[in-house]
Amino acid sequence: MCSIRAILVVFLLALLAPVGAAFAQESIPTRLLIRATDAGQERAVGRLSDAGYSVAFVHEYPVFMTMLYAFDAPLAGADIPNVRGVLDGLIADSTIETGDFDVPMAVETGIGQTGSLWVTGMTESDFAQQYGRLVTGSYVAADRATGLGVKVAIIDSGLTDGDTIARRSSLSYGYSVTGGVATQGNIPRDVGDSVGPNVGVGHGTFVSALVACVAPSAKHLHIKVLDDEGQCFLADVIAALEASINEYAHVANMSLIPSQPTPTLTHAISTARKHGIIVVASAGNDNPTVNPYQGCEPDLIQVGATNHLDVPFSGATPAWIDIFAPGASNVPTTGLPVASEAVIAPIGVDANQQPIYAAATGTSFAAAFVSGAAAAYRAANADWPNAQVSPGQISSRFVNAARNSATPIPTGSSGAIKRLRADALVAGLPRVARCSEDPVAEEDAFGNYVYVINEVDLACVLTSWNPLGSDPRRIVRANLSLDPENRVDAVDVAIILSLWDARAPEGCP
């Protein structure tokens, strides 16, 4: 007899199919991204016009010195190589730095049991006991480094409605990107429409919840770029990365891939790293011969997925993968996956406002585990950047530490292929308090974090007094009032005194 839970089963192997199959939005590009000075932009537009291709300005990305243009008329088949030739000529004579078509980006999707993304019908208990949390030691990492004070940009599909661990981790605002333009507002909603199967709905919620498994005190800045089918364009991701930089994010998770390598994206990711952001992306699982993020390797951390047996999903071990993490679920031919063989997180809530938990497979979700570890690592190194560690070195510090503490997996020759161990990553780092009102972590006789406000916390506030002009990328945990300028003053002292000797309320993360 079929159980009610079994009736809910729908599944798709996310990030499985060949890259081209995932990018069905349009094959003829309609827009261009050009990086150049103002004078170079003007000359480029003129050169394109002389070749018969008029473009209209759409939007500017000042952080990247890049502008977005739309073609005034649709391109024909021969126009694509012709325009590419014009752009290459402009690059060759140093008129512009880069020029790219606004190519599609997406989560990769393949053929599943019923053409949807998730195996629904899982439970909160399954979520807590899934193998990914156990093999990475996320429980230990979450109790030690927590992610307190860290801002993680989730460049994805936004958040579904309802109370989930993802929404509880979210900042009170976010960004929605439409047509390559990012607009700040409420937390962006992830909802479907009446067209298509809406396979992408819930993706950002799932990713966000996995980040929170490893770094429960980190705050998530949701930047919605993906539509309900899990697709977007390069300009949308450029806008999201610019917003991440302007928001002083510490980590950026991109569980999506471009349809082809682009210098425009390479430059944007490099710029984000130079601003101190640890940029993490899914690597895809179809084992392509060319890295879709080619050129981004020094600046981007690309994550491959393993299953519960530490076997790379689909046998994909491309040389450009920096580290592996749990991302694959074993789906039986009948019934539901079991927690010990699945990656599980909420994708929304049901009609009774209860979280809907699902299992899924994909490097999207492996990347989320690594982003959570990056948030934990960053929380324990709160004084970066400083005189010893520049903003551009933070990402390298993290990926080197993650590799050094990772577990070699069986398919790796000489231990070259490794799977994340979040607990080992933060084991030697300073302990971080779990609650924002408690600046300094303290432990009981068994080494467990204890929430208590006392003279140790007061001293932390006093020694951090009024650090005006400090780098906003540094984490000032004594800033209890969350002053956007990281000012520590009498307001923070008053907060400490009002909580003196307080014990953690129920539900403190």
Amino acid at 93: D
294 or 8, which is more confident:
294
pLDDT class of 199 with cuts at 50, 70, 90: confident
Those residues with Cβ within 8 angstroms of residue 446's Cβ, 6 or more apart along the chain or in another chain:
none
What does the pLDDT average to over 348-367?
94
pLDDT class of 113 with cuts at 50, 70, 90: very low
Predicted confidence at residue 367, as pLDDT, reads 97
Predicted confidence at residue 503, as pLDDT, reads 73
What does the pLDDT average to over 101-129?
79
Round the CA-based radius of gyration of the chain to a whole number and report it.
Answer: 23
Predicted confidence at residue 251, as pLDDT, reads 98
**DSSP per-residue string spanning 408-459:** E-TTSGGG-SEE--HHHHHTTSPP--SSTT--S-EE-TTS-EE-B-SHHHHH
Query: Alpha helix locations (H) across 283-387?
Result: 363-380
Question: Model confidence over 269-312: pLDDT tens digits?
Answer: 999 999 999 999 999 867 777 899 999 999 999 999 999 999 98
Predicted confidence at residue 509, as pLDDT, reads 52
Those residues with Cβ within 8 angstroms of residue 239's Cβ, 6 or more apart along the chain or in another chain:
59, 61, 177, 180, 181, 182, 225
Gap between the Cα atoms of 98 and 88, Å rounded: 8
Residue 196 pLDDT greater than 70, yes or no: yes
pLDDT class of 267 with cuts at 50, 70, 90: very high
Question: Model confidence over 247-264: pLDDT tens digits?
Answer: 999 999 999 999 999 999
Gap between the Cα atoms of 39 and 288, Å rounded: 39
Report the CATH number of the 119-426 domain: 3.40.50.200
pLDDT class of 333 with cuts at 50, 70, 90: confident
What sign results for the dihedral spanned by CA atoms 141, 158, 476, 399? positive
What does the pLDDT average to over 168-197?
95
Predicted confidence at residue 417, as pLDDT, reads 83
Question: Model confidence over 340-351: pLDDT tens digits?
Answer: 999 999 999 999
Nearest in space to 221 (alpha carbons), one of 284, 277, 298, 301: 277
Residue 82 backbone dihedrals phi, psi, to 5 degrees: -65, -45
Question: Model confidence over 39-84: pLDDT tens digits?
Answer: 999 999 999 999 999 999 999 999 999 999 999 998 988 999 999 9
Domain boundaries, the chain: 24-102, 119-426, 442-498
What does the pLDDT average to over 477-497?
91
Fold assignment, 442-498: Type 1 dockerin domain (1.10.1330)
Tell me the percentage of the chain whose pLDDT exceeds 70: 90
298 or 398, which is more confident:
398
Residue 111 pLDDT greater than 60, yes or no: no
Amino acid at 326: P
CATH top class, domain 24-102: alpha beta
DSSP-assigned beta bridge partners for residue 60? 67
pLDDT class of 383 with cuts at 50, 70, 90: very high
Predicted confidence at residue 438, as pLDDT, reads 92
**DSSP, res 312:** B
pLDDT, mean over the chain: 89
Tell me the percentage of the chain whose pLDDT exceeds 90: 75
Gap between the Cα atoms of 327 and 363, Å rounded: 6
Gap between the Cα atoms of 425 and 149, Å rounded: 18
Question: Model confidence over 403-430: pLDDT tens digits?
Answer: 999 999 876 544 578 999 999 999 999 9
Residue 22 pLDDT greater than 70, yes or no: no
What does the pLDDT average to over 325-335?
91
- List % helix, strand, coil for the chain (3-state, nearest 5): 30, 20, 45
